[in-house]
Amino acid sequence: MDRSFLSRPEVVKASRKYTCIRLATYEDAVEARLLKSLFVGRTGDLENSLFVVLSPDGKTRLTAAARTPGWLYGDAQEMGAALDAISTRFRGGSGTHHTLPKLADVRLGLNVAACDNLPLIVALGKDPNQQRVMENALAAISWNDQMIGRAVYATTSAKMDLEALGLKGEPGYFVVEANSFGVKGRVLATVSAGETSTALVSGLVSGMNRFSGRTTPVNIRGHIEKGRTEGVYWDTVIPVTDPGPPGRGPGRP
């Protein structure tokens, strides 16, 4: 889906006129209920992906709901043109982005970063109050041209997240490269809490430039078998109801 549509220049350009949401599917029960109200698959239950364009109130469907943009558009150029046409029907606001596009927690952030082949930026506070201050500082820069679309975000003040990141607990901003299974991470760069906005951007961009990531597509079958061999499993927040490819039955975690 991403290689064919979402990361193509014509779709990226058109998407700047939208609020885009990366779905967590089986990691959020409330979100799952909303998704199920928009689309269910052949089993009558929630499946693992969904594409739909909604009106600004989040209620009216402006396109059909489908598993992938490929069900609605022939290619990325057609999708970009369709999004441009829809956007002319609405007048965008003049406000500035203030919200950090973060995942629910570091655990999910690592997993999504591994899946999306992006670095993870973590704001680690000594307590929830400092965490909120750091999150606001990160939100203020996350939408600029140097940062937008280049990383996954998560925040934490929880000690249980430190082991997965290999950290000892000092507050700061960390650029992390997740391992191939998205359960642990390696710190690429650290920026101290309380740095100026300019220093924060500089430090984070420097870390993101060190991210190597995957250079070839993942062989899904080989990846799953390797995970089983190494005893790596992922427990979702709610049960997975996607039946898997037709004729093959549901996949294991």
Q: Tens-digit pLDDT profile for the chain (253 aa)?
A: 567 888 889 999 999 889 888 888 899 999 999 999 999 988 899 998 899 999 998 889 999 999 999 999 999 999 999 999 999 999 876 666 678 999 999 999 999 999 999 999 999 988 889 989 999 999 999 988 899 889 999 998 777 777 778 777 789 999 999 999 999 999 999 999 989 999 999 999 999 999 998 888 888 889 999 999 999 988 999 999 988 765 444 444 4
- The predicted structure's pLDDT at residue 244: 74
Helix (H, G, I), strand (E, B) or coil at 82: helix
- The predicted structure's pLDDT at residue 2: 65
Q: Show the beta-strand stretches assigned E in 84-230.
A: 120-124, 152-156, 172-178, 185-192
As a whole number of angstroms, the longest Cα–Cα distance in the chain is 55
- The predicted structure's pLDDT at residue 126: 87
- The predicted structure's pLDDT at residue 250: 47
Please give the torsion angle defined by the CA atoms of residues 147, 152, 153 and 157, in that order, rounded to the nearest 10 degrees: -140
Tokens 């650029």 belong to which residue?
A: 175
Cα distance between residue 100 and residue 87, in whole Å: 23
- The predicted structure's pLDDT at residue 149: 86
Q: Is the dihedral of CA 223, 228, 233, 236 positive or negative?
A: positive
**188 Cβ neighbours under 8 A, 6+ residues apart:** 119, 175, 176, 177, 207, 208, 210, 211
- The predicted structure's pLDDT at residue 156: 85
- The predicted structure's pLDDT at residue 82: 97
- The predicted structure's pLDDT at residue 245: 64
Cα distance between residue 112 and residue 119, in whole Å: 10
